Amino acid sequence: MNYPVTRTEDEWRKLLTPIEYSILREAATEQAFTGALLSEHRPGTYQCRACSAPLFNATTKFESHCGWPSFYQTDTGEAVELIDDFSHGMVRTEVRCASCGSHLGHVFDDAPQTPTGQRYCMNSAALSFVPDSA
């Protein structure tokens, strides 16, 4: 897919920390319950750490107790792209930033307590949080 934001892998390595690069560009996963944004509860917007594209509004965040920040819907229908993921002997749906193609996490249809029934399970290191202005 052609993404609006493109960089060489060397440019990504210079822009991102090693853990961010591993997650965003190599589809790694941070350890559960370690992410800085897991306990973030202020109003605001979650953006792609790599390109700053808006991804999720804080109003859609919920406590799924899975160990990663969870949201029940994206900011807009075009914020992410969904990719079939058959890695690690599982069938999952990978979530990537639609602006730069960076790996964010996975989405699951296992959240009946939400309006959409979906759980976008995101890596904290793949996101930046921008609080709403006071």
**Rounded Cα distance, 32 and 69, in Å:** 10
Q: How wide is the angle at C-alpha 114 spanned by C-alphas 116 and 79, nearest 5°? A: 50
**Rounded Cα distance, 26 and 21, in Å:** 7
Q: Taking a C-beta distance cutoff of 8 angstroms, is the pair 65, 92 a contact?
A: no
- On the CB side of 18, how many CA atoms lie within 13 Å of its CA? 0
For residue 93, the cross-strand partners are: 84, 107
Q: Is 121 a catalytic residue?
A: yes
Using alpha carbons, list the distances in angstroms from residue 22 to 9, 16, 94, 115, 130: 11, 9, 15, 32, 23
Q: Point out the residues that are catalytic.
A: 121
